[in-house]
């Protein structure tokens, strides 16, 4: 166990020193594996992982979902989502912030990235909220918190990565994220309501939209609904009816989503050759970075497994006589602390190889644990001092301080903890849909 703990500590130190997480995990994993099995065995292990990753058909789902999200962004679908949410909620006190959260949830269903959701919705929602003199703290907080839904509501790139790391069904993970995602939306709306009750000036009521304009706004989101239905419906057999008779694998669903997003953006005149090439290049760059991180995570995972860390943790828990739920609460405490200093993907890749074998040995469902990990990761996206969504928003908005944004997200962070507690103690909310498949 000593060499495992030393390796984990070395990774943490290297990450704090600003070494990329992929290199830190890969380097420590390689050195640790070589210390146990020898240099030649370590070289062979790394080479095999690189080749297997490049040839793994299942991994093609990652660049396809990234491509889909980028085409969605170029297609301008975020504006339509915000308009329809604003049409029904904008006349309430705090309604524009509520509309932002609902629009973020809708955009998450066709994007799959928290950072992209926050960055995109900030350009759409922030000008409207400033027009009605919303407090910057509430405006930015609603965007930052709503953006976190991008990694939970399917399709989610991080859920795909968790599924690949743990060999858990991606289809079950996707559908398991729906109820927790909707619960997050409801609790975020409660947080907005609480904020404006405490300070009515933070979120003045907007103009009421008539039913004719609401109908036009609803018709404007047909492309979003169609794209979501094709991807998720095809994945779960909703298209398996005559004359279509279609059921998609996750990779096929991602391909259909990317093609659909491309056609929608093209039909709206949002694409030309230059923009299409830009999207393709950005997809390759993002996917390559993710693959590098995945390879580093697998190298590190092989090291901690061969060093016996998961078995040592299981033995420690068994000898201590702790109840499984107590162990789970301790693990969640570690995640919350790490979330204060780590960005979400790094935290996921560093901890899942260590905790997953322990959690499953205690009898917890791997799908349930995956959703719990993602919810904790969502919290880390808005937790000081390294809330990544906050810093992305600061980069887009510019004239709002990070202190103001962090102050505004406090109610959202609190309701996230409440949601986490609900999902931990009522696992049925996570497992109902996947168990009904």
Q: Residue ranges per domain, the chain? A: 2-435
Residue 186's pLDDT is 94
Q: Give the angle 335-63-30 at the CA atoms, nearest 5°.
A: 55
Place of tokens 């000593």: 2
The confidence score (pLDDT) of residue 365 equals 94
Residue 75 CA to residue 70 CA, distance in Å, equals 9
Write the DSSP assignment of 220-281 as a string of letters. TTHHHHHHHIIIIIHHTTTT-STTT-----HHHHHHHHHHHHHHHHHHTT---HHHHHHHHH
Handedness of CA 107, 111, 112, 113 (dihedral sign): negative
Residue 106 is predicted with a pLDDT of 84
Rounded-to-integer distance, Cα 11 and Cα 328, Å:
23
> Which pair of structure tokens corresponds to residue 354?
């260590």
| DSSP 8-state class, residue 69 | H
pLDDT at residue 239, rounded to an integer? 60
Per residue, what are the HEC states of 407-418?
HHCHHHHHHHHH
Look at residue 241 in the predicted model and tell me its pLDDT: 57
Tens-digit pLDDT string for the chain (437 aa): 778 888 888 888 887 787 888 888 899 999 999 999 999 999 999 999 888 888 888 788 888 888 888 888 777 777 788 888 888 888 888 899 999 999 888 887 777 677 777 877 888 888 888 888 899 899 999 998 888 888 888 888 888 889 888 889 888 998 899 999 999 999 999 999 999 999 988 888 878 888 888 888 887 777 777 887 878 777 776 666 555 566 778 888 888 888 988 988 888 888 888 889 998 998 898 888 888 888 888 898 889 888 887 778 888 887 888 888 999 999 998 888 877 767 677 778 888 888 898 899 889 999 999 999 999 888 888 887 767 778 777 777 777 888 888 888 999 989 999 999 999 999 999 999 898 87
With H, G, I as helix, E, B as strand and everything else as coil, classify residue 177.
coil
pLDDT tens across 321-364, in order?
888 899 999 999 888 887 776 767 777 888 888 889 889 988 99
Average pLDDT, the chain: 85
């Amino acid at each position: 166990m000593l060499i495992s703990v030393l390796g984990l500590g070395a990774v943490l130190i290297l990450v704090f020193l600003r070494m990329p997480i992929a290199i830190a995990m890969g380097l420590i994993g390689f050195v640790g594996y070589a210390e146990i099995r020898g240099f030649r065995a370590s070289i062979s292990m790394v080479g095999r992982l690189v080749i297997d990753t490049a040839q793994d058909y299942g991994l093609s789902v990652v660049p396809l979902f990234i491509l889909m999200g980028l085409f969605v962004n170029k297609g301008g679908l975020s504006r339509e989502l915000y308009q329809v949410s604003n049409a029904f909620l904008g006349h309430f006190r705090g309604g524009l912030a509520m509309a932002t959260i609902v629009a973020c949830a809708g955009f998450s269903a066709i994007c799959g990235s928290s950072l992209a959701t926050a960055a995109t919705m900030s350009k759409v929602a922030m000008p409207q909220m400033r027009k009605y003199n919303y407090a910057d703290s509430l405006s930015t907080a609603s965007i930052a918190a709503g953006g976190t839904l991008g990694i939970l509501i399917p399709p989610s790139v991080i859920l795909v990565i968790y599924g690949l790391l743990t060999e858990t069904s991606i289809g079950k993970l996707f559908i398991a994220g729906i109820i927790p995602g909707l619960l997050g939306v409801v609790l975020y709306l409660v947080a907005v309501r609480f904020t404006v009750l405490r300070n009515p000036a933070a979120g003045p009521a907007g103009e009421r939209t008539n039913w004719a304009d609401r109908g036009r706004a609803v018709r404007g989101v047909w492309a979003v609904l169609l794209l979501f239905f094709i991807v998720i419906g095809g994945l779960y057999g909703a298209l398996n009816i005559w004359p279509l008779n279609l059921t998609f694998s996750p990779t096929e669903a991602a391909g259909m989503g990317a093609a659909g997003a491309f056609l929608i953006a093209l039909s709206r005149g949002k694409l030309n050759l230059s923009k299409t090439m830009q999207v393709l290049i950005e997809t390759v760059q993002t996917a390559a970075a993710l693959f590098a991180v995945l390879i580093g995570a697998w190298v590190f995972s092989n090291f901690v497994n061969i060093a016996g860390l998961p078995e040592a943790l299981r033995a420690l828990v068994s000898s201590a006589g702790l109840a499984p739920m107590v162990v789970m609460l301790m693990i969640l405490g570690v995640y919350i602390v790490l979330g204060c200093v780590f960005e979400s993907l790094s935290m996921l890749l560093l901890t899942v190889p260590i905790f997953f074998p322990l959690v499953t040995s205690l009898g917890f469902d791997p799908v349930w644990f995956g959703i719990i990990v993602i919810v904790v990761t969502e919290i880390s996206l808005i937790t000081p001092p390294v809330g990544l969504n906050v810093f992305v928003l600061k980069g887009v908005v510019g004239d709002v301080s990070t202190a103001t944004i962090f102050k505004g997200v406090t109610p959202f962070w609190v309701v996230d903890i409440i949601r986490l507690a609900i999902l931990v103690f009522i696992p049925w909310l996570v497992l109902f849909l996947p168990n009904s498949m």
